[in-house]
């Protein structure tokens, strides 16, 4: 049965919903717009059983399958935090993993997500880092070497898709060197085609060679490629990605509600321009007014002749072709972490923990005395980032992790952006200790963390620093201060760092 224009256009839209249940209003939104997919966030997940009820109710009410998507990059970017293995961030994997491990990771993730009912994971990230600071990609990337990013990305894709999950390589044509976070504003990247082809597009070429089901584009402007943002560039999407690189699968936009898009045009115009550029699926992830506006603008563009319905027919054919490979919503039994997943995550984290500066002379004997540990209150982030349950009690986590090495710490938990009072308490504790460990959360982004580091470097008789996220904070370390970078702060990564510091 042929779809109405409203439903045909709607099948290109992927919406985020407001909470962990499919409400009557949510169902009506999908009915009114014919939306083709759902993007799952933390706000939609309060356990596997409740997620299953959300998806089942929505699909039963609509009488059709939808495309269920989520961001499951590993490390910091995890939306569904139960029934899955929490792997290290990609930069940690890039520092110490290998191709078979990465393929195994993908296979495990794919099996776990299919049991949760997911069809498409928006990953892996294939952006290549450069010497230029990256405020948004950072530890989400496999690193600066295009060959390594290519081989690891292709291996992960093969594992994910072998498990029945569709992978989505992102963010084409590459934004590992974007100077601005696209969630907040519009980045401009001055690279020309020669640089992009040699460095940033290479991993996407490998992903297409590996048979990746989806590619997600990026929002920045690449003025030496096209004056329009990549999301709106037919040259970049249709001519280059599909034509020159030969990607025959699904092309997905990044979220059209991001600040980068708002800086350019209203949401309705953005949806029309993204569809005209060659995207099959358009993400509008957060607010119902934006979602309805995007749908209305697409319908009007078809009625006015600005877009042809044939564009949406071709997109629907590609999406349905991808979906036909999955006959069931939940595959593989009840949700649960895959056997061997945790061991693999720990092995990857251990290999990725890198010594930046060695412990000072006499460090080991000092660990037999009074040891201070200063740690950020990660539990305060739990309303917007998935925090592992064992990390919600920061002091308890640290005590258990360090006691394995015979060290009983005195723990001071401070804010992710510590106050002056917290900095002073931490410095007082360190001044009276024989050795101190500081778990540092982005001193190059947060001045209060730079102040915390400086205070402990001044106060501590002997100090070791765990660089919890990007490795850039190493430039602030004084001579004689030990440091290990974790490339992330998942439990497996912090345990690996503690082992490097306490048992070098």
pLDDT value, residue 182? 64
Confidence band, pLDDT 50/70/90 cuts, at residue 217: very high
- What is the tens place of the pLDDT at every residue in 70-115? 999 999 999 998 999 999 999 999 998 799 999 999 999 999 999 9
CB-CB neighbours of 28 under 10 Å: 12
Residue bearing tokens 């690891």: 152
The residue-averaged pLDDT of 454-470 equals 93
Q: Which residues contact 164 (CB under 8 A, 6 or more apart)?
A: 110, 111, 114, 325, 326, 331
Nearest to 64 by CA among 18, 112, 1, 139: 1
Sheet of strand 482-485, all strands in order from the earlier edge strand to the far edge: 354-357, 482-485, 463-467, 435-440, 371-376, 409-414
Question: Domain 353-502's class?
Answer: alpha beta
Q: Which residues contact 111 (CB under 8 A, 6 or more apart)?
A: 163, 164, 332, 338
Residue 142 has pLDDT above 70, yes or no: yes
CA 190/CA 183 separation, integer angstroms? 19
In a 3-state reduction of DSSP, which class is residue 73? strand
pLDDT value, residue 265? 87
- The strand ranges marked E within 315-462 are 354-357, 371-376, 409-414, 435-440
- DSSP assigned state of 252: E
pLDDT value, residue 184? 65
Residue 504 has pLDDT above 80, yes or no: no
- What is the tens place of the pLDDT at every residue in 267-317? 999 999 999 999 999 999 999 999 999 999 999 999 999 999 999 999 999
Which of 160-164, 205-209, 360-364, 463-467 has the lowest average pLDDT?
Answer: 360-364
Nearest to 266 by CA among 244, 241, 296, 239: 296
pLDDT value, residue 136? 82
Bridge partners (DSSP) of residue 77 are 74
- Token pair belonging to 474: 């190493």
Residue bearing tokens 């407001």: 18
Per the CB < 8 A criterion, the answer to whether 20 and 28 are in contact is no
- What is the tens place of the pLDDT at every residue in 181-192? 667 677 888 999
Per the CB < 8 A criterion, the answer to whether 443 and 418 are in contact is no
The residue-averaged pLDDT of 333-358 equals 94
Residue 459 has pLDDT above 70, yes or no: yes
Confidence band, pLDDT 50/70/90 cuts, at residue 384: confident
- Token pair belonging to 78: 């995890």
Confidence band, pLDDT 50/70/90 cuts, at residue 426: very high
- Token pair belonging to 44: 């939609």
Per the CB < 8 A criterion, the answer to whether 224 and 261 are in contact is no
pLDDT value, residue 436? 95
pLDDT value, residue 443? 92
CA 293/CA 288 separation, integer angstroms? 8
pLDDT value, residue 259? 79
Instruction: Please provide residue 425's backbone torsions phi and psi, each rounded to the nearest 5 degrees.
Output: -65, -40
3-class DSSP string for 110-159: HHHHHHCCCCEECCCECCCCCCCCCCCCHHHCCCCCHHHHHHHHHHHHHH
Cis-peptide, bond into residue 173, ω within 30° of zero = yes
CA 498/CA 69 separation, integer angstroms? 35
Give Cα 173 to chain centroid, integer Å: 17
Nearest to 268 by CA among 226, 233, 302: 302
Per the CB < 8 A criterion, the answer to whether 292 and 32 are in contact is yes
Residue 471 has pLDDT above 90, yes or no: no
The residue-averaged pLDDT of 469-485 equals 89
Residue bearing tokens 């596997």: 48
Residue 339 has pLDDT above 70, yes or no: yes
Confidence band, pLDDT 50/70/90 cuts, at residue 383: confident
**CA dihedral of residues 425, 426, 432, 437 (deg, nearest 10):** 170
pLDDT value, residue 38? 97
Q: What is the mean pLDDT of the chain?
A: 93
Specify burial of residue 192 (Cβ count, 10 A radius: 0-12, 13-18, 19+): exposed
CA 123/CA 167 separation, integer angstroms? 6
CB-CB neighbours of 343 under 10 Å: 11
Provide the annotated active-site residues: 183, 254
Q: Which residues contact 56 (CB under 8 A, 6 or more apart)?
A: 329
Residue 133 has pLDDT above 80, yes or no: no
Strands 166-172 and 214-217: parallel
Nearest to 106 by CA among 254, 211, 16: 211
The residue-averaged pLDDT of 28-53 equals 95
Residue 429 has pLDDT above 70, yes or no: yes
- What is the tens place of the pLDDT at every residue in 361-375? 889 989 999 999 999
Which of 4-18, 402-416, 465-479 has the lowest average pLDDT?
Answer: 465-479
Please state the domain extents for the chain: 5-323, 353-502
CA 178/CA 218 separation, integer angstroms? 10
Question: Domain 5-323's class?
Answer: alpha beta
Give Cα 188 to chain centroid, integer Å: 21
Strands 77-78 and 72-74: antiparallel
Per the CB < 8 A criterion, the answer to whether 318 and 278 are in contact is no
pLDDT value, residue 427? 97
* 470 vs 172, higher pLDDT: 172
Per the CB < 8 A criterion, the answer to whether 13 and 33 are in contact is yes
pLDDT value, residue 181? 65
Which of 34-48, 160-174, 251-265, 474-488 has the lowest average pLDDT?
Answer: 251-265
pLDDT value, residue 310? 94
């Amino acid at each position: 049965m042929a779809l109405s224009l409203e439903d045909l256009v709607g099948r290109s839209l992927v919406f985020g919903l407001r909470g962990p249940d499919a409400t009557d209003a949510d169902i009506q939104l999908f009915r009114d717009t014919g939306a083709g997919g759902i993007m799952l966030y933390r706000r939609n997940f309060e356990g596997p059983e409740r997620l299953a009820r959300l998806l089942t109710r929505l699909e039963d009410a609509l009488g059709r399958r939808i495309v269920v998507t989520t961001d499951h990059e590993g490390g910091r970017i995890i939306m569904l935090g139960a029934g899955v293995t929490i792997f290290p961030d990609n930069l940690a994997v890039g520092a110490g993993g290998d191709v078979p491990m990465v393929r195994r990771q993908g296979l495990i993730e794919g099996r776990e997500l299919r049991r949760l009912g997911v069809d498409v994971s928006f990953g892996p990230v294939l952006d290549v880092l450069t010497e230029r600071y990256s405020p948004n990609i950072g530890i989400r990337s496999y690193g600066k070497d295009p060959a390594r990013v290519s081989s690891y990305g292709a291996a992960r894709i093969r594992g994910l898709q072998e498990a029945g999950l569709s992978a989505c390589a992102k963010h084409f044509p590459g934004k590992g060197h974007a100077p601005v976070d696209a969630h907040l504003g519009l980045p401009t990247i001055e690279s020309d085609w020669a640089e992009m082809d040699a460095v940033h597009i290479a991993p996407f070429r490998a992903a297409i060679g590996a048979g990746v089901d989806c590619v997600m584009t990026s929002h920045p402007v690449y003025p030496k490629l096209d004056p329009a943002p990549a999301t709106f560039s037919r040259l970049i999407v249709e001519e280059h990605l599909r034509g020159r690189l030969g990607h025959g699968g699904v092309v997905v936009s990044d979220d059209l509600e991001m600040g980068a898009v708002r800086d350019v045009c209203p949401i309705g115009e953005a949806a029309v321009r993204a569809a005209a550029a060659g995207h099959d699926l358009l993400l509008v992830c957060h607010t119902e007014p934006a979602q309805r506006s995007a749908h209305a603008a697409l319908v009007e563009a078809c009625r006015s002749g600005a877009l042809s319905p044939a564009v949406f027919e071709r997109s629907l054919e590609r999406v349905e072709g991808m979906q036909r490979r999955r006959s069931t919503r939940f595959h593989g039994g009840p949700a649960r972490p895959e056997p061997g997943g945790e061991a693999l995550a720990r092995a990857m984290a251990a290999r990725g923990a890198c010594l930046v500066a060695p412990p000072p002379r006499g460090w080991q004997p000092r660990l037999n005395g009074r040891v201070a540990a200063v740690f950020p209150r990660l539990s305060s982030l739990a309303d917007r980032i998935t925090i592992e349950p064992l990390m919600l009690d920061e002091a308890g986590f640290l005590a258990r992790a360090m006691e394995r090495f015979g060290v009983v710490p005195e723990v001071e938990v401070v804010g992710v952006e510590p106050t002056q009072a917290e900095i002073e308490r931490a410095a007082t504790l360190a001044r009276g200790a024989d050795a101190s460990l500081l778990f540092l959360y982005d001193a190059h982004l947060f001045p209060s963390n730079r102040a915390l580091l400086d205070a402990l470097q001044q106060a501590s008789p002997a100090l070791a620093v765990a660089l919890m996220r990007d490795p850039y904070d190493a430039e602030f370390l004084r001579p004689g201060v030990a440091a290990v970078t974790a490339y992330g702060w998942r439990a497996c990564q912090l345990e690996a760092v503690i082992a490097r510091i306490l048992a070098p």
